[in-house]
């Protein structure tokens, strides 16, 4: 079963709503409004396996660059 994650910068939503203040209380209300209105975008969260592969590729690239520098 896959989980869905909703991603949105609260500041962008605040701007669209004409809000200026940035507080935890305002953010909580904003997130609730976004979820209830359907404005929240569904994002992708990679599995642990994908995260591990990405880390290995980054490490390999870094070590290859270091070796090439010698």
Report pLDDT digits (tens) over 39-66. 777 777 888 999 999 999 999 999 999 9
Q: What are phi and psi of 5, to 5 degrees?
A: -120, 135
User: Cα–Cα distance between 29 and 20 in angstroms, integer?
Assistant: 14
On whether the CB atoms of residues 20 and 14 are closer than 8 A, the answer is yes
DSSP character for 18?
T
**Could you tell me the pTM of the whole model?**
0.45
């Amino acid at each position: 079963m896959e989980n869905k994650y909703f991603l949105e910068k609260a500041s962008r939503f605040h701007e669209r709503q004409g809000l200026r203040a940035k507080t935890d209380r305002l953010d909580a209300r904003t997130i609730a409004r976004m979820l209830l209105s359907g404005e929240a975008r569904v994002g992708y969260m990679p599995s642990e396996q994908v995260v591990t592969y990405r880390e290995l590729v980054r490490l390999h690239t870094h070590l290859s660059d270091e070796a090439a520098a010698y």
